[in-house]
Structure 1
């Protein structure tokens, strides 16, 4: 395997996954999705870059589950160098960054795959929002990704340390970095997470400065940037699709479009408990096992709010996200039953000569 794949994160571990995957390794070869343009994906292969498209068979087989390649995925392809490749399968993902897709249907929107560290970017301006940060932290934990919070535009803030302390209060055990690309401040603390062989992703709301950070880390302008409105610090989407860059530090970076809203998607990794660990620890001391932490007597969580050791807004956000995930799980359960019901053949009786057909297939 040559240097092209290794630059984009291929390792002995991924080589082992590939050998154990059951893929037809005589005909197919590994590649990584480095950009997503809808029907077409940009791939990196052992021979270099090429365009790729999901095969008709794979698309048909995944109509119900919607399991299609995302930026960061390792895939199995066929095709000659320089030609458009056909994507036939996806190696099992180590982690994912995803959210609930917009609309009434319960569906996952996969943002990036196989991410080691999620850099959650929040600008230190009028758009600073702790409740939004809690949602991004939970998105990371839900997908099995380590979150790191990056407080950008510190040159525009007069109380940086106070803001940092506020974030650390809602993100126990998570590294919080304050930096300024405009003043070239804080890059060394960020580069700790940009080691060769690792994959990092950037996420955050529009106008948080992600594209500026990409250019700063790359040492050159590779992403368009736009100024934010001065009256409300809101910005417009400058990144319109997901794309991967090889950083000078050796890591690969996935930049994602800014998000106006973040509806959570539960991957079953207990992200709520990790993001709100102190609340769940307090809940163990509640008088009732099924305490809702709203009005019950003997509630240790309410007591913590009353004595000032827990912020009421943080509890409210915890309860809101808990209900959101429970609602999503109920909808997914109903949708799963519906898919199972519609996938059953209309007539389950054995066809004539079934035994003869089976004997022929076994032979």
Structure 2
């Protein structure tokens, strides 16, 4: 029954992506090659120059961020009688951007530094670095980024407070190219060498990927074009590959090297001016290189075998007005039972609905309800409910 449910879920999500991809193919096919070649590049000055109104300076510094206060009430994964409450401000963020444009040579330099407070513990939080990078770009759409940023395969995530979706930020060197195929069609491609920061699961007192002395290779390709509305729709394919060294007592690999693979497809389709459907499907092996809210596993330390898994998320966002938004979504992750131990979790699901409203121009309140379900290899299942409220002050 578990496999049947997964096949049904994957079937529905797969149909959504094939429909989106078919629409893109039809739209791009109807755009003649002559049209694509005749469209000039977007004007470099209007696209890259970022200056305060009325200023002639091409060097701009901007501070940004938000203060966020979270309230949670939830039942725990047991018989439902125990519950817990949590109040925290650890998800607050602060950052700064700098941009220097050299109009004469058609070059621009960007930089970003961003922190949150997810380090440390609930009682004693500490700053945690999210982004720290510099990027050079030119008028032809090429750019080179160096530093800590989102993984190259990360393109989109749900607009929910809590969901099961892949995301990570790591030190990297990334090369990107943006190509305008026509006036409304854009192709974005990027490739990166990424420093892995996986866990020391074999107690060798060394990072598993660093011990292998190999970087992760990541890439992504995204096509954007308006379809049903003036807002662009997106479809993308991305992935990651690398190796890790884990030495277990009964390791089936003589050299201790394990492949880590990850493949993901994204889609986002504005159905009308107020409704947007989006989602992704992903699969992989030894996915401890991908942050999935603690749900993913890399290698089974008991058997020494890599753990395979697949998952996905889907969401509909309804924009009632510029101040008010409604969201509903579903996400899941399933690991292969044959790769796990009896007490391991093999299926994790999350249902979520929320509403977000700007009560003031800079103050937003979000209410969300979640239903989590988990299943273990030993055929035991549990669920819990979480109610959340978050208050943002943007600056």
TM over 0.5: no
Structure number with higher relative contact order (C-alpha < 8 Å, ≥ 6 residues apart): 1
Normalised to the residue count of structure 1, the TM-score between the two structures is 0.21
Quick check: which one's strand share is greater? 2
Structure number with greater Rg is 1
